[in-house]
Amino acid sequence: MISRAQTVLLVLLVLASLIMGVMLFRMRERAHQRLLTGQDSAPTQAPAVTAPVQATLMVANDDDNSLRGQLYSLPLPADPGARARAVLGKLLDLYAAQDSNHPIAGGAASVAQVFLLPAEGAGSKPGSAGGAAAELAVVNLKGSFVVSHPSGLETETLTVLSICGTLHANLPRVTQVRFLVDGEVRPSLAGHADLTRTYLTSDAVPVDPNTP
Amino acid sequence: MHWTRWGAAGHGPAAAAILLVAGASVSAGFAQQAPPAPAAQPARFVVVIDAAHGGDDTGGHLNDGQLEKTANLAFSVRLRSLLSARGIQVVTTREADQSLVPDQRAEVADHARAQACISLHAAETGSGVHLFVSSLAPSSAARFMPWKTAQSGWVTRSLGLAGVLNSALTHAGTTVTLGRTALPGIDSMACPAVVIELAPERDADKKTISEPDDAKYQATIAATLAGAILEWRADEGRTAARQP
């Protein structure tokens, strides 16, 4: 038999539980409202929209082993390193497209960084940079891009030359290009194109399909 | 710095060459009285065939799953047989599935003092045959050349050899693309050197007809190349005959 005191205690506990449940529900509602209010009133700044500029991409074509300059209107950052990465990203996006004549998986995310350094030795005298100091671009590619790159002398050479040509077309002070893969020197791109050497951007002139 | 030497090998032949040059100098004054020498082919004509990759270096994977190193070796054997049958001395860099570094390939070519060096590759992309010549800028050949740029003294003749191969392949109806590239092995070769990359044979709709390891496709291309090399030998003979 339950005593009167125990019954009263049980009723009080049930009441307390109900009151606490109601309070928790109301506190949750208030916190949610506070969160929404905070989001609305957060001091946000609209991103500065860069005006699109003309960028020249040297696009490779496996069918005739050629590089052809194509003009694109792209919003490019002012910082030269970020600009170089952006144009290379667009170039590799073209190669990742389904109807590409130079198919390579990966796209823009395949370029980890592009560093610009003062150039030394052969090719350090810029031809069209108005006497400004020539630069060496160090392109750090991601390992996933190299692993998925098709193997072959033609396709690998075209990839390297199209990157060199695109960099020089948009940053004329870049006269030399070196490649890293995940931050390290790698012997070749996919078994053929030599990645240990410094490429001169003058090597990336459009290939005339009629002459070797 | 590593240097490569071309020309007479060893002191004996070198001395003989000096004597010959001296003899020619002495007899130069009588050259107008002597009858003109008949046009003759060079005494020796050697072709080096380099099947790329091998051993641990498998090269690329072809579309049918085969390894590039295997296709290259099979193509090398076919071309060697056809050239040998035409009386041309052939030196190969490898006859089995063995690993060679680029310097070893160049050493074989430079020791052979060849009139044509052919490096064979295969690719899964593109179509027909891709011909490549070293992207080094031409320079005059010297007795001693820097190892890494030895090919610079031969680039002009390499372009000539690529032209002959291109003509023959195009005449045979093969799609040919031409280019320049940097390959460590080729850049160290002191001979007219061309890289031949065999790509899939495709029709007008880009559908693959034959893969690079297809025996019939390889045999057709090898026969065309053998004919072109015979023509190159004749060109070399005419060039040699024109030289005093």
pLDDT tens-digit profile of B209-229? 999 999 999 999 999 999 999
Q: How does pLDDT run across A108-125, given as a tens digit for each residue?
A: 999 999 999 998 776 555
Give the predicted TM-score (pTM) of the model. 0.75
Percent of all residues in chain B with a pLDDT value above 70, rounded to a whole number: 80
Q: Do A191 and B166 touch (CB under 8 A)?
A: no
Q: How does pLDDT run across B198-210, given as a tens digit for each residue?
A: 999 999 888 999 9
Are B179 and B148 within 8 A, CB to CB?
Answer: no
* Interval B54-80 mean pLDDT: 93
A to B CB pairs, distance under 8 Å = 90
Query: For testing the chain B interface, which of A153, A159, A203, A211 should be mutated: the one with the most B CBs within 10 Å?
Result: A153
Is the pLDDT reported for residue B17 higher than 60? no
Residue B88 lies in a domain: yes
Closest residue in B to A61 (Cα) is B126
Please give the pLDDT value at position B22.
Answer: 39
Please give the pLDDT value at position B35.
Answer: 41
Q: Do A63 and B127 touch (CB under 8 A)?
A: yes
- Residue with the larger pLDDT of the pair A191 and B2: A191
The count of structural domains within chain B is: 1
Closest residue in B to A157 (Cα) is B181
Please give the pLDDT value at position B188.
Answer: 94
Containing structural domain, residue B155: 40-242
Residue B19 lies in a domain: no
Residue B29 lies in a domain: no
Residue B35 lies in a domain: no
Q: Between B60, B125, B206, which is nearest A191 by CB?
A: B60
Residue B7 lies in a domain: no
